[in-house]
Chain A
Amino acid sequence: MAEKEKSFVDRLWDFFASVKLAIVLFSLIALTSIIGTVIEQNASPEKNIIVLKRLVGENLAPTVYRILDILGFMDMYHSWWFVTLLVLFAMNLIICSLERLPRIWNLIKEPVKPLNPERIPAFPIRKEIVIRHSPETVREALVQSVKQLGFKPMNSPLEDGGYQLYAQKGNWSRLGVYITHLSIIMIMIGAVIGIFFGFNGFLNLPEGYTSDVAYSRKDSKPHPLGFSIRCDDFDVEFYGMSDMPKDYRSWLTVFKDGKEVMKKMIEVNSPLKFEGYTFYQSSYGMLSTGRGFFIFKVKGPGGKTETITKIMGESFIIPGTNIKGTIKKFSPALAISQDGKTYTYAQMMNNPAVYIEFTENGKPKYSGWILKRYPQTWRLPDGSIVQFIDYWGVQYTGLQVRKDPGVWIVYLGCVVMAIGLYMAFFMSHKRIWLIASKAKEGTLIRILATANKNRAGFERKVETLVSNLNREV
């Protein structure tokens, strides 16, 4: 029969169903991606021109930059041609899988059938043993040994009074490849949904402030959230007495229609989620205009403790005494130089310290720095304790605000991919036949088996089965 001229649609289908295209796309995506790791994406032109000068020299750099810019390399992962590559890749994957799925499906659906004992095809694993008992007496032992390998054997009688046990398992594992391919499509769909319907923004929220908007990363435009969020407090914890941060924490409260609905402390790896929005701890800072509240826990010599909140310049009385403390100075990060002078070494609250002057009945008594991180500075000469709890209201927490309605599809795709890869690489489709026929000395048992993966491993199991049979019967 002469080959029929294929229609355009058929040819297009064949083109997209080929593994060759997949190989070409793997290479193209990998190779072009490299360029995007050399050229900094979405950076200012000067930065990349400097990079190009190092690579191609002073003279060529501006021209190369212009060419790359026109081709979209400055934001290449979102350029039309890279997106086209990804679309082609997705089509390749879908059509290739659709093309092969029916055949695989039939293979999976097909039950194992008994073999014709006269014409046994060449199987990769074949063993023979002879046992000095009739087929009937060894039947139970044979069934048990096959069950031990995890098969549920079926039985079919032979004409000579013998019988045949046969079984298969793992036939579903042939779907592993297609489940893996499906998962890639799921992840891509999830990512596209995120790009079109998601929101990526930020919100710098000072302690004590409430906001009902976040700001877009793209154009810094306010984006209404539909609820409001308040920063109750922000704090950095350090390793021991070092300046190495151990943890950043924000205490947040969510309000919906004027009512408080949620309170949560967030940390770097533990965000707050509400109505599809997620708030991540991403940065922090000090307000330049900061006028905050000093919070102390003051314990007098009599043992009475009070919590006191004051602003700069205000005074308080130590309970049970006539001693008055006045807040004079503040340093977010106090250090002492070698000649004993104090100075501020950072503009972050690394080592907050407050300078307080104490007087008794108007007469100066003592004065000095009280440091939040050093409890030994809290104790006054007369035994009272002024614990510096916080300087509240001068820091802001930097929140990353995201809404990604596609992310659960991406995660589901990841789970599906894990399952698919497990099936594709760690499971195999195994079939086994035991043909027990009458022989002069007893029973001839022929064992035939196949596996589509890790055949050597399966062969070893079959060998164990044979040696067990030899020992037991």
Chain B
Amino acid sequence: MDSSTLFGIATIGYILAMVTYIVYIAFRNKTIGIIASTITIVSFIAHTGAFFMRWYEGYIMGLRSLWHPPISNLYESIIFFVWCLILGYIIIEIKYTNRSFGAFVTPIAGLALAFIEMTGMSKEIEPLVPALQSNWLLAHVTMSFISYALFGLSFATALMYLIEKTEKKTEPAYIFWSFSLGILIVLLIAMTMDYLEFHVAATTSENIKNYLFKATFKSANSVVAITSWIGSFIIIGMVWAFGHHLKRLIGALNVTPELLDELTYKTVAIGFPIFTLGGLIFGAIWADQAWGVYWSWDPKETWSLITWFVYAFFLHARLMRGWRGKRAAIVSVIGFVAVVFTYLGVNLLLSGLHSYGSLS
């Protein structure tokens, strides 16, 4: 067995776990909950095994030294992000003996893994170009992704907090969370459609490099594209219209808003220093060593700084009257959107806008 088979098993496992956690939330059946946790842990073990195997494979292929764990390209770093996210989640599940976060955390993992499949990004073990052979870069990437995973967890708890705390459908916080959740669901569905169309039904014989949204928004068939947009608005509208039912579901699961608020703060409080040191400082040191400039305001650096300011906003907002609770949770959700944009948006959207680099 090689690492990619094991990664495949883990991917399927996480997606199964996601479905099981959602079923668990809906029916509150303890056995289903235990099944969900078991699937998650088994997949995590497979994932861990795959990670070390890939590490070893890179070494025996002579492409990397033993000091270079497999976290050097987009594919490997997303895999590592999911690993940290699930590890963090398992720790929280055990420490707080509460499974219901699973339904909010595993979709993030599912989205990330589906994203790999849909974009058709390279999964090859690549040799390191000279600029990447740096221990600072290694520390930078590792710590960045650990902090991203922590921010991902705080995103999940903040969203749950908002669901529990909002009363009226016209209240801005309610509109905010229902739209955010709606968009998350739309993305999940759109990627599933891509998957079904291109991998299962195999409707196309040609080798499309990037499937992302080709089955929906970016379909060559304009009827499909327009229907997708209309469908998305309907889904978001439905989440808005029926979202208050979620509140009862979460409320019945013994997660108090206070616990969620505490978890949101704690994950940011651990993630922020790790991001500052690893994401910003080590990144700057690496750039200084490799190119002689520790800061050059390039889009990636600037987006890291924007993310940093959003979380600084979060930490300081708690010091002001009226800014604890709902508003702080909204800031935490925005923070994670900035994280995702820093990692993917810069490569995907901005580089498409200009003509440098792209997904490869």
Contact = CB atoms under 8 A, between A and B. Distances in A.
Contacts of B63: 239
8 contacts: A22-B316, A29-B309, A37-B299, A37-B346, A280-B290, A421-B273, A421-B276, A425-B272
A38 B346 CA distance: 9
Interface string A372-407: 000000000000000000000000000011100001
Contacts of A417: 276-277, 281
Interface stretch (A245-253, A358-366, A462-470): A245-253
A418 interface: yes
Interface string B132-157: 01101000000000000000000000
A191 interface: yes
B272 A246 contact: no
Contacts of A54: 353
Given A37-B299, A41-B297, A239-B63, A23 B305 contact: no
A267 interface: yes
- Which of B286, B303, B317, B354 counts the most A-chain CB atoms under 10 A from its CB? B354
Given A26-B312, A30-B306, A37-B346, A421 B272 contact: yes
* B contact residues, range: 35 or more
B227 interface: no
A51 B292 contact: no
Contacts of A33: 302, 305-306, 309
Interface in B255-296: 269-270, 272-273, 276-277, 281, 284-286, 288-295
A240 to B, nearest CB: 7
A280 B316 contact: no
A268 B128 CA distance: 12
A336 interface: no
Nearest to A48: B354
A88 interface: no
B272 A268 contact: no
B357 interface: no
Interface of B: 62-63, 127-131, 133-134, 136, 269-270, 272-273, 276-277, 281, 284-286, 288-295, 297, 299, 302-303, 305-306, 309-310, 312-313, 316-317, 319-320, 323, 346, 350, 353-354
A271 B294 contact: no
A418 B277 contact: yes
A38 B353 contact: yes
B127 A246 contact: yes
Nearest to A249: B130
A411 B289 CA distance: 13
A77 interface: yes
A244 interface: yes
B130 A245 contact: yes
B292 A278 contact: yes
Given A239-B63, A245-B130, A246-B130, A407 B277 contact: no
A23 B316 contact: yes
Interface residues of A, number: 52
Contact of B291 (A40, A41, A248, A400): A400
Nearest to A411: B285
B282 to A, nearest CB: 9
B133 A268 contact: yes
A414 B292 contact: no
Given A23-B313, A414-B281, A421-B276, A269 B130 contact: yes
Interface in A395-433: 400-402, 407, 410-411, 414, 417-418, 421-422, 424-426
A51 B354 contact: yes
B129 A244 contact: yes
Contact of B277 (A29, A200, A278, A421): A421
B296 to A, nearest CB: 9
- Which of B277, B294, B317 counts the most A-chain CB atoms under 10 A from its CB? B294
Nearest to B276: A421
Nearest to B309: A30
A400 B130 contact: no
A200 to B, nearest CB: 8
Contact of A245 (B129, B269, B272, B319): B129
